[in-house]
Amino acid sequence: MDSQDGISVRPMRLKVLYTFDDASKTNCLARWPHLLDIQTAALDEKTQIGVIELKTCIQAIVSASPELVAKLGQDYTVYAYDYSEYETPLVGQGMLSWVLASASPTPNAPAHQSQTMVTGRVCKNVLGLFSKGAQETLEVKLRLVPVPTVLQSQYLESMQRYRELSDVIPHEFDSQAWTNFLRQNPGLLAPTTQPAPALFLQWTIPESKDFIGF
């Protein structure tokens, strides 16, 4: 198709290179079975990149490796290589379960994530030479890092505790003065089976002015 502002739309195939083992050493490949119209742009004379929705890439790898969603108690953090940036850094995309939820038709799914786009490298479609199909392929590269779901629940529980603390701590509370006080009395919060010191038992959150002179 005609290019506009350096961006052109061309039909091509999609392949996703991905790893999902702990060491990220086992390279896997998934191919999307349908022809796609991909927006592309040239980075330089030799390199062209394209963009595609992340959920399409995730659907491709889940179809190729269903064990990704078959294990109870296991989820993955998704990282995508950004071909538009220098040295192709990894960009975090959230949890695999979140991306799958955004692609589902359920009303509670975070629909805003379904618009997440990732970049890929435009390369020749060798298989297309044999089938006389599309001559180009968009190559997207993902890294999936295993995360036990118990760690997710611990994270959410910790965030809830922080929110509860922020509701009860006075706005005028001097956190730096409190930190200095703990440094001067390191034994206050140390785990012990002995009765707590009287100083700790009598401690209440003071006004900021009470810390003057610490």
How does pLDDT run across 31-84, given as a tens digit for each residue?
Answer: 999 999 999 999 888 899 999 999 999 999 999 999 998 877 788 999 999 999
Structure tokens at 208: 């900021």
Q: Does residue 148 or residue 178 have the better pLDDT?
A: 148
Q: Does residue 130 or residue 85 have the better pLDDT?
A: 85
Q: Does residue 131 or residue 122 have the better pLDDT?
A: 122
Structure tokens at 42: 């040239």
Q: What are phi and psi of 70, to 5 degrees?
A: -90, -15
- Helix-then-strand count for the chain, H and E: 7, 7
pLDDT-derived band at 203, boundaries 50, 70, 90? very low
Give the total residue count for the chain: 214
Other C-beta atoms within 10 Å of 161: how many?
A: 10
Residue 2: is it exposed, middle or buried by C-beta count within 10 angstroms (0-12/13-18/19+)?
Answer: exposed
Q: Is 129 helix (H, G, I), strand (E, B) or coil?
A: helix
First to last CA, the chain: 71
With the C-alpha atoms ordered 18, 143, 74, 108, is the resulting torsion angle positive or negative? Answer: negative
Q: What share of the chain is helix, strand, coil (3-state, %, to 5)?
A: 35, 35, 35
Distance, in Å, from the CA atom of 112 to the CA atom of 101, rounded to the nearest integer, reads 11
pLDDT-derived band at 142, boundaries 50, 70, 90? very high
What is the tens place of the pLDDT at every residue in 145-170? 998 776 666 767 767 766 776 666 66
